[in-house]
Amino acid sequence: MKDFTGKFAVITGGGTGMGRELARQLVAEGCNVAMCDVSAANMAVTKSLCEAEGAQGVRVTTFVADVSDEAAMNAFRDAVARDQDTDHIHLLFNNAGIGGGGGFVSGDREGWERTFNICWGGVYNGCRAFLPMLMAAEAGHIVNTSSVNGFWASIGPNTPHTAYAAAKFAVKGFTEALITDLRLNAPHIKCSVVMPGHIGTQIISNSRKVLTGDDSDTLSDAAVAQARARMAGMMGAAAEGLSDDQIHAFMAEAARRFHEDAPMTAAAAATVILDGVKTERWRILVGDDAHRLDALVRETPEAAYTPEFFASFAAEVGWIVGG
């Protein structure tokens, strides 16, 4: 699929981050875009940007949906057919995801399962819902967003990260298995797994809002307590001495730094992804840090989860050592 002009694309998580930038770049190339997100307000911003920048006559539609809810994703599919006036799509970007979830041993089960069900379930539900519309097209491409945590299950030696990593491993394995499945049963459809490193997005603040159900920018008492518990795992007893205001400031600064100080922007990441689709790469690493981490894990897999491995890698690529 060398040209997106006149094609139909579906994007989950289109309200912010890479989803927004994928939508903007696709409409600029003349592609019709249907997006979903849990935030109508964020999607409205994306749609406004797309309509201001996109090619004339391109259709941009939005739908509020939680990707972990199969019925909601089926309703999104029906809305795409209706609002885009089409019985087929060419591109499916299962991009929606959140961070968090924490540890399996001592973490909160509800938060763990919420993270896993969005990051993995969203990909599964998206593929299930839209496969018939992809089958109806003359050519199609499924793009599933995993992470470097889909081949390296860590964000540091002092921070449990099992929910997110398990989900992203599932996304990677599922997409690789689809290569053969599609070749045998739907050869006109290709697939790619995207594995970004540190990309400047609002995933930290967005994830908190999804996991707590609180859309405000001020942390609730429950959110402060959860943040304090997570910080205790990194800082030990020192976290107990922090005030609620200090916890809030720490979290806000972490979100700001992740977004603004990242080595790669969401727009640059979207360009890499779309270039990968055009060249039919099934494996799309995004960012120099992703490429370097991939090489290091392959070189020394037995050492990949040692503190020394993380410290060396973080120093080399400029990751902030916080866990």
Active site residue 164: yes
Q: Give the helix ranges, DSSP H, for 96-155.
A: 109-119, 121-135
Residue 217 belongs to what H/E stretch?
A: none
Query: What sign has the CA pseudo-torsion 169, 155, 46, 213?
Result: positive
Which CATH superfamily hosts domain 8-201+264-317? Answer: NAD(P)-binding Rossmann-like Domain (3.40.50.720)
Tokens of 319: 């990751």
SS3 11: strand
pLDDT digit string (tens) for the chain, length 323 residues: 899 999 999 999 999 999 999 999 999 999 999 999 999 999 999 999 999 988 789 999 999 999 999 999 999 999 999 999 999 999 999 999 988 777 899 888 998 999 999 999 999 999 999 999 999 999 999 999 999 999 999 998 888 889 999 999 999 999 999 999 999 999 999 999 999 998 865 555 554 445 556 565 565 665 666 666 665 555 554 566 677 666 666 665 555 555 556 569 999 999 999 999 999 999 999 999 999 999 999 999 999 999 999 999 999 998 865 43
Q: Tell me the C-alpha distance between 256 and 136, whole Å.
A: 43
pTM of the model: 0.86
Number of H helices, E strands in the chain: 12, 9
Instruction: Sketch the domain layout of the chain as residue ranges.
Output: 8-201+264-317, 204-261
Within 10 Å of residue 271's Cβ, how many Cβ atoms?
Answer: 15
- Cβ-based burial of 83 (10 A; exposed 0-12, middle 13-18, buried ≥19): middle
Catalytic position from the list 164, 174, 258, 319: 164
